[in-house]
Structure 1
Amino acid sequence: MEHVQVTPQTRTALKIGPYEVDPPVVLAPMAGITNIAFRQLCQEYGAGLYVCEMITARAVVERHPGTMHMMTFAAGEYPRSMQLYGVDPKTMREAVKIIVGEGLADHIDQNYGCPVAKVTRKGGGAALPYKRTLFGNIVRASVEAAEPAGVPVTVKFRVGIDDGHHTYLDAGRIAEAEGASAVALHARTASQRYSGQADWSHIARLKEAVTTIPVLGNGDIFTADDALRMVAETGCDGVVVGRGCLGRPWLFGELEAAFAGRPLPEGPNLGEVARVLRRHAELLIEHDGAGKAMRDLRKHMAWYFMGFPIGSELRRSFAMVSSLAELDDLIARLDHHAPFPTDALGPRGRQGSPGKVTLPHGWLDDPDDPCVPEGADLMHSGG
């Protein structure tokens, strides 16, 4: 694949409200992944905007202890970026008031990209932008509540529900009109979920439709070259990286080098990957305690060791690790000199297959119905 050159002279800085994001790279919020530990790990490799895993507006309003614990940022983390999920303008307004009033975050992102059935069947996630009036009301309520504190609100969404119901151009224009500081498009429909290929041409179309705020692209960025190609092909102002960094937090160092026009660092050997894995464990323990931390770490093992020849028995042992001492013992059994496998640069994380999107009865009847979908306030997921 031809290497795409982007130099500091050929691009303008990405600004999210008052914040300059250089390189123009955003870590996508991923449920159960982008907690304080993973964000710190990524930030140790490169600059960018690192968004915490999704927080539900209702849980903020109700001061749910687990949610308040999730809303933790590292001492040097700035701007503190929080993704907030909600489907009721009143609840969102109240949650944003709490967040900005108590100085809990410096940037609020909203996600309308989740394709999961338990979310869309209640009218939430990727189903919600179809209801244009309701969508605009939520964005407006959030922006109005955040504005006095100078906290920017950004909005992320998908192409639409399916190929018969594209919503992204309306969603982009509405978010822009209601005061959002940037929009981001995952270039898949909800019915695609994470299957097939993202269609970046939609990002280019959104960039043509939304002219006064930054447009970010998301979908199938697994390497630094992918990010440069997306910017070159679509004209987008920055990229949002999700699954590509799973088990590869050093991707952000590669992205920083690529956007600065520097040579990319070499992929880490197995010894360096093991060091990163142990650092991940330490940061998780610091935040959640050893028991929960080691359980949480297990899901990352397949991603960290993707493509490395470590044997099925050792893989199984890593996937069942229960203590730091056990982790150290397993790490000692690795071939630390094994080079990074070049065939491990492709898709990782969720993929699955496309399927029909589950919607509330009559959801598609009236796109201008402003009514709040019943029960969706209790739903939450990534996207």
Structure 2
Amino acid sequence: MTSRAPLHIGSLELGSPVVLAPMAGITNVAFRTLCREIETARAGSTAGLYVCEMVTARALVERNEATMHMTTFGPTETPRSLQLYTVDPRYTYEAARMIVEEDLADHIDMNFGCPVPKVTRKGGGAALPYKRNLFGQIVAAAVRATEGTSIPVTVKFRIGIDADHPTHLDAGRIAEGEGAAAVALHARTAAQRYSGVADWDEIARLKQHVTTIPVLGNGDIFAAEDAERMMTSTGCDGVVVGRGCLGRPWLFAELSSRLNGKPVPEPPRLGEVAEIMHRHAELLVDHHGEHKGTREMRKHIAWYLRGFPAGSDLRSALALVESLAQLKSLLSELDPEVPYPAAAEGPRGRQGSPGKVMLPDGWLEDPDDCAVPQGADLMHSGG
């Protein structure tokens, strides 16, 4: 195994070329803290970049209470990475200035990859890069707002709307030209959503097209071997991991070790998984309070226990947990010596089916139109 050079994104130097992708309701301060703790314990340090849940630029500027809560970072969390969903250069600039002036984060990422119909039908997310001039104005606004600071701006996008409307090469070129510090490509179209297989060849094409800033690859990273294979086959400078870490916050320790030429830690036995689950719940309770925190934990249960022997009654009880004490009691019923099962490997999280991308009327008629899509910035933060 060969150790890879540190990844530089503007002023940031990352000891591991691994980025946690923002996921709504998942990558809050509790989950990020947990991933960092495990990476430190199992790999010896925290080296990658952990991005918070996506927040809407307009909601941030207007100080929406839920949005402000989502921008919470741990007291020792560094670098603090915040992702903006945005469709309007004005709110982009104002949100980025707010981040600078109030010291809210050390890194700004912008999301142009969301394929959810409620987002694309208003011209946001993966639909927006098709409007290349508007896309460029938005990137330029964020870069202008952070000028003279150490806060880098990065941009994430998909291959395009569908196979007939690719946008990633233009988006990469425009982002690079407007001063973005790195770009990341989820190697699927919006029409694919999360189905099928990511087309890593398009990451390689983008890497050949964008030559002065790092290019990160996203899509189908479910194990340390996947990350190394993506970087080797595409030449990309780093990997972005989303669904692969659901119920596996220790994945980052494995990725960091593999990409830094160190032995990959053994996967945890069920007893350690139970301890991690309890720690995750504790951190969620610290962030949300016990009532909401334990309910937020429920959705993680099936991901954590995937492939492990745990009876249906116990799984059902865990999925209805209402307190930390109840969770601890139920977890004690698991056999701590069960090894990590092969059935837990591979794709996880939502996959769904491909489908037609919902777009505003006439969206595809003029890619040079700079009009800000109406109502697309009124969605709640988180996706």
TM > 0.5 fold call: yes
2:14 is aligned with 1:21: yes
2:297 is the counterpart of 1:304: no
Alpha-carbon separation, structure 2, partners of 1:196 and 1:233? 19
1:162-181 to structure 2, matched below 5 A, reads: 162-181=162-181
Report the alpha carbon displacement of residue 150 of structure 1 after superposing the two structures with TM: 2.2
Shift of 1:148: 2.5
**What amino acid maps onto 1:88 in structure 2?**
D
Aligned to 2:354: 354
Segments of structure 1 that go 5 or more residues without pairing to the other structure are none
Shift of 1:342: 1.5
1:266 is matched with: 266
Shift of 1:381: 6.5
Number of the residue aligned with 2:58: 58
1:199 aligns with 199
Deviates more, 1:104-113 or 1:253-262: 253-262
* Residues 301-325 of structure 1: per-residue CA shift (max 9 Å, x gap): 0000000010111111111111111
Within-5 A mapping of 1:316-355: 316-355=316-355
For this pair of structures, how many residues does the alignment match?
376
Q: 1:128 is paired with a residue of what secondary structure?
A: helix
Looking at structure 2, the residues matched to 249 and 268 of structure 1 have their Cα atoms a distance apart, in angstroms, of 11
Secondary structure of the corresponding residue to residue 26 of structure 1: strand
RMSD after superposition: 1.0
1:190 paired residue number: 190
What's the offset of the Cα at 1:260? 1.6
Is 1:373 aligned with 2:373? yes
Match of 1:129? Answer: 129
Cα distance change, pair 150–216 in 1 and its aligned pair in 2 (3 A): same
Q: Residues of 1 paired with 2:115 and 2:35: CA distance?
A: 26
Which residue number corresponds to residue 30 of structure 2? 37
Superposed, 1:107-118 pairs within 5 Å as 107-118=107-118
Query: SS of 1:110's equivalent?
Result: strand
Pairwise CA distance, 1:262: 1.7
Moved over 3 A (4+): 380-383
For 1:147 and 1:281, locate their aligned partners in 2 and report how far apart those are by CA, in whole Å: 39
CA distance in 2, matches of 1:352, 1:320: 25
Q: TM-score, with normalisation over the residues of structure 2? A: 0.97
For the 8 Å contact 1:114–1:381, the answer to whether it is kept is: no
Partner of 2:42: none
So what's the TM-score if we normalise by structure 1? 0.97
Q: Tell me if structure 2 keeps the 8 A contact 1:124–1:379.
A: no
The answer as to whether partners of 2:67 and 2:381 remain within 8 angstroms in 1 is: no
Query: What one-letter code is carried by the residue in structure 1 that aligns with 2:37?
Result: E
1:93–1:148 distance in 2 versus 1, CA, 3 Å: same
SS in 2 for 1:189: coil
Give 1:380 shift: 5.1
